[in-house]
Amino acid sequence: MFRHKGKTRTLKHNIRIASLLSFVAGVVNVAGFLAVQRLTTNVTGHFAFFVDEVFQLNFLQAFIFFLYIFFFFLGSFVSNLIVEIISRTSDRLIYIIPTIIESLILFFLAVSGQFLISKNPDLLACSLLFAMGLQNSLVTTISKATVRTTHLTGLFTDLGIELSQLFFYKQKDQREKLYSSIKLRLTIITFFFLGGLLGGILFPTLKLYVLAIAASVLIAGMIYDDLKLKLMIQNRSKKAHPIS
């Protein structure tokens, strides 16, 4: 799911990572909005608000919206920087540090979030945007830009295009490719919705502790990936050295 890159990645790998990370993004999106009334998984709306505040000469508020955009960018930058550095020594480990950083941020905000809401809600929003920048950059790099999990605008655009192409693409290989892409996009949309639904249901009770669930899902995904790799290596070893 995490470890495969380039030609070794299959649709199954992309669907698994899309399910996991889009679910996390859905939780973060709803929890962040309910906590501080800010979008915390993408920056498109923040750019519009930034320009609006500039034209109204509200430069302090404009700077805050700029910070939202910058922290999402910074998360993406840091994630890929880590990937490039680690890939020089081991491709198998490139996803671990960005995912751990994202998990730690979510756990920290789960614990301290209520304090930040009252004292510094902008820091809370920036932290969530940084975490989502990390995630989006990592999955984009791993999947060669096939999977994006933190926002749905481009997904619905691509889904609309691909569904319309079904009326015109009749060759078997073309339709199989379209079906695979549509399946992947519907998976991302579905799990983003499920994550958001869970976040919305649990937020009145758990408040920002709901972010701990998202962080736990990330950790569970890493553990699953690691156990599956070890099992695969163990099975290959048994086949290579059968017991006589």
User: What would the DSSP string read from start to end of 162-177?
Assistant: HHHHTTT--SHHHHHH
The answer to whether residue 128 is domain-embedded is yes
Could you report the per-residue pLDDT of 146-168, keeping only the tens digit for each? 777 777 888 888 889 999 998 88
Could you report the per-residue pLDDT of 204-232, keeping only the tens digit for each? 999 999 999 999 999 998 888 778 767 76
The answer to whether residue 82 is domain-embedded is yes
The answer to whether residue 102 is domain-embedded is yes
Average pLDDT (73-82) is 94
Per-residue CA distances from 166 to 12, 84, 176, 181, 201 (Å): 22, 38, 10, 12, 37
Backbone phi, then psi, for 188, in 5-degree steps? Answer: -60, -45
The answer to whether residue 244 is domain-embedded is no
Q: Are 184 and 19 in contact (CB under 8 A)?
A: no
The answer to whether residue 142 is domain-embedded is yes
The answer to whether residue 205 is domain-embedded is yes
For the chain, the domain total comes to 1
Could you report the per-residue pLDDT of 22-62, keeping only the tens digit for each? 999 999 999 999 999 998 988 888 999 999 999 999 999 99
- Could you give the CA distance from residue 242 to residue 223 in angstroms, rounded to a whole number? 28
Domain carrying residue 221: 6-38+75-231
Q: What is the DSSP letter of 150?
A: S
- Could you give the CA distance from residue 93 to residue 215 in angstroms, rounded to a whole number? 19
Residue 244 has pLDDT above 60, yes or no: no
The answer to whether residue 190 is domain-embedded is yes
User: Could you tell me the pTM of the whole model?
Assistant: 0.89
- Give residue 34's pLDDT: 95
Average pLDDT (74-78) is 96
The answer to whether residue 175 is domain-embedded is yes
**pLDDT-based confidence at residue 190 (cuts at 50, 70, 90):** very high
Q: What is the DSSP letter of 207?
A: G
Per-residue CA distances from 61 to 36, 52, 126 (Å): 15, 10, 14
- Which residue has better confidence, 140 or 228? 140
Average pLDDT (71-90) is 90
